[in-house]
Structure 1
Amino acid sequence: MKQIYFDNGSTSFPKAPGLGEAMGKHIDYNGYNISRGGYSKAYSLEGEIIEAREAVCRLFHCDDVKKVIFTPGATIGLNMVLKGLLKRGDHVITTSMEHNAVVRPLAQLEAKGVLWSRAQCDEKGRLDPQEIRKLIRPETKLVLAIHGSNVCGTLIPIEEIGRICRENRIFFCVDASQTAGSAVIDMQKCNADALIFPGHKALLGPQGIGGMILSRTMAETMEPLFSGGTGSASHREEMPELLPDKFQPGTLNIPGIIGLKHALAYIEKEGLVSMMEKKKRITDAFLEEVGNMKGVRLIGLPAGDDRCSVVSLDFVDQDNAEVAFRLENEFGIMTRCGLHCAPHAHKTLGTFPQGTVRFSFGCFNTITEIRFAAGALNRILCG
Structure 2
Amino acid sequence: MIYLDNAATTLVKPDLVKERLIEKFDKIGNPSRGSNEISLDTGRMVLATRIKLARLFNIKDPRRLAFCSNATEALNIAISSFIGRDDHVITSLIEHNSVLRPLYLKEKEGAELSFVGLKDEKEGVLNYEMMEGLVRENTKALVISHASNVTGNITDLSKVSDFCKKHELLLIVDAAQSAGLIDIDVEKYGIDVLCFTGHKGLYGLTGTGGIYIRDGLNPHALKVGGSGINSFDKDHPLTMPEVLEAGTINAYGILSLNASLDFINQIGLANIRKKEKDLLIYFEDRIKQIPTLTIYGAKDLDERVGILAINSTKIPSKDLAQILAEKYDIATRAGAHCAPLCHKALRTEEDGLVRFSLSYFTKKEEIDKTIRALKEILGDDYDSNNI
| CA RMSD between the two structures | 1.4
SS of 1:111's partner is helix
Query: Paired residue for 1:17, among 15, 21, 29?
Result: 15
Aligned equivalents of 1:61, 1:128: Cα separation in 2: 28
2:198 maps to a residue whose letter is G
Instruction: Count how many residue pairs are aligned between Structure 1 and Structure 2.
Output: 378
Give the aligned partner of residue 317 of structure 1: 314
Give the aligned partner of residue 161 of structure 2: 162
User: For 1:175-214, what aligned pairs fall within 5 Å after superposition?
Assistant: 175-214=174-213
Q: Is the 8 A contact 1:16 1:205 kept in 2?
A: no
1:235 CA drift (Å): 2.9
Aligned equivalents of 1:368, 1:225: Cα separation in 2: 45
Aligned equivalents of 1:42, 1:95: Cα separation in 2: 44
Q: Please, which runs of 5 or more residues in structure 2 have no aligned partner? A: 383-387
Aligned equivalents of 1:285, 1:303: Cα separation in 2: 14
User: For 1:341-352, what aligned pairs fall within 5 Å after superposition?
Assistant: 341-352=338-349
SS of 1:234's partner is coil
2:334 maps to a residue whose letter is C
Give the aligned partner of residue 99 of structure 2: 102
Give the aligned partner of residue 88 of structure 2: 91
Query: Paired residue for 2:289, among 280, 292, 307?
Result: 292
Q: Is the 8 A contact 1:120 1:131 kept in 2?
A: yes
Deviations 1:17-67 (A, max 9, x none): 142342243331x22111121333322221111110111012111111101
Query: Paired residue for 2:258, among 256, 261, 269?
Result: 261
1:118 CA drift (Å): 1.0
Query: Paired residue for 2:248, among 251, 258, 261?
Result: 251
**Residue identity (%):** 32
Q: Is the 8 A contact 1:95 1:145 kept in 2?
A: yes
Aligned equivalents of 2:373, 2:300: Cα separation in 1: 21
Q: Does 2:76 correspond to 1:76?
A: no
Deviations 1:335-358 (A, max 9, x none): 001000111111111211210100
Query: Paired residue for 2:110, among 91, 113, 127?
Result: 113
Give the aligned partner of residue 385 of structure 2: none
Give the aligned partner of residue 234 of structure 2: 237
Query: Paired residue for 1:56, among 53, 62, 76?
Result: 53
SS of 2:90's partner is strand
Deviations 1:310-358 (A, max 9, x none): 1100111211111111112222211001000111111111211210100
SS of 2:84's partner is coil
Q: Is the 8 A contact 2:42 2:251 kept in 1?
A: no
Aligned equivalents of 1:255, 1:363: Cα separation in 2: 23
Q: Is the 8 A contact 1:57 1:63 kept in 2?
A: yes
Give the aligned partner of residue 8 of structure 1: 6
Aligned equivalents of 1:161, 1:25: Cα separation in 2: 43
Give the aligned partner of residue 26 of structure 1: 24
SS of 2:109's partner is coil
SS of 1:365's partner is coil
Give the aligned partner of residue 215 of structure 1: 214
Q: Runs of at least 4 residues of structure 1 off by over 4 A?
A: none
Q: Is the 8 A contact 1:84 1:225 kept in 2?
A: no
TM-score, length of structure 2 as denominator length: 0.94
Q: Please, which runs of 5 or more residues in structure 1 have no aligned partner? A: none
Aligned equivalents of 1:318, 1:40: Cα separation in 2: 59
Q: Is the 8 A contact 1:159 1:191 kept in 2?
A: no
